[in-house]
Amino acid sequence: MVREFTNIRQASIAAVEHMIDLAGKTVMKRDLCTIVLAGGSTPQLTYELLGAPANAEQMPWQQSHFFWGDERWLDSTHPDSNFALARKTFLAKVHIPPQNVHPIPTGLTDPQAGAERYEKHLRDFFHANSLVGMHSGGEVMAVPSFDLVLLGMGTDGHIASLFPGSNLLEEKRRWVAAVPEGAGSPPCARITLTLPVLNQAKNILFLISGSRKREILDTILRRPEKAEKLYPAARIKPAGNLIWLVAE
């Protein structure tokens, strides 16, 4: 589904409404909701709105757990940190138990160690929750199923820290991977969830703005085979629902 908006504010309001609605329904069913946050600049207004009292009071913070789709290999206080963005815009303003916030570790010896640590953390967390089996080459492989994954998209069609031409686009086993510095902006090393995990989500919500990203979406919708060769975003085919919120 594609929903179009005249500006990023309207799209961000819709994003917050989706998050609140989904979290409420999910917690009613399972007393738990797992949400993966996007990084970059587009979701900033969404997060600020989520932290606004009128919205925050509707979120089941006690039962909601927040994770990240990717993180830059920077200190968690660095202005370009995806965790820092979420903390500044809403996490520091709401009554969420600290144990419900699951940042990607960036203080270890190197990104590979960070990726391995996060994967272990996810495995421990999902051990008691909804592991979803996924057949990979005939072998059932356990993959977590997040209730909601928020994604942005770069102007090259990247998602999380999965960039065009990356070998990680073919990753089938690891849930979390390290990305060497160079790609993306800022061009720092990164840690990212992989496609098997992203595509196991029950709901994926894209939030994009601008004509270039709209062109990429049009290619994804109209010429999916071509798009898959060019844009990682075209590889997002979730087990669950996929909604694009598109601002002009």
Which parts of 130-189 interact with ligand 6PG (CB under 6 A)? 152-154, 158-160, 184
105 is an interface residue for ligand 6PG by CB under 6 A: no
Beta-carbon contacts of 182 under 8 Å, excluding residues fewer than 6 positions away, are none
Q: Which is nearer to ligand 6PG, 63 or 161 (CB)?
A: 161
Minimum separation from the CB atom of position 247 to ligand 6PG (A): 11
Q: What is the chain's length? A: 248
Give the span between the Cα atoms of 182 and 173, in whole angstroms: 24
62 is an interface residue for ligand 6PG by CB under 6 A: no
Q: Which is nearer to ligand 6PG, 40 or 51 (CB)?
A: 40
Q: Which is nearer to ligand 6PG, 80 or 130 (CB)?
A: 80
| 152 token code pair | 């942005």
Q: Which is nearer to ligand 6PG, 51 or 154 (CB)?
A: 154
132 forms beta bridges with: 143
Residue pair 136/171 in contact (Cβ under 8 Å)? The answer is no
| 4 token code pair | 């179009």
Which parts of 16-55 interact with ligand 6PG (CB under 6 A)? 38-42
70 is an interface residue for ligand 6PG by CB under 6 A: yes
Phi–psi pair at 242, nearest 5 degrees: -130, 120
Contacts with ligand 6PG, residue ranges (CB under 6 A):
38-42, 69-70, 72, 82, 152-154, 158-160, 184
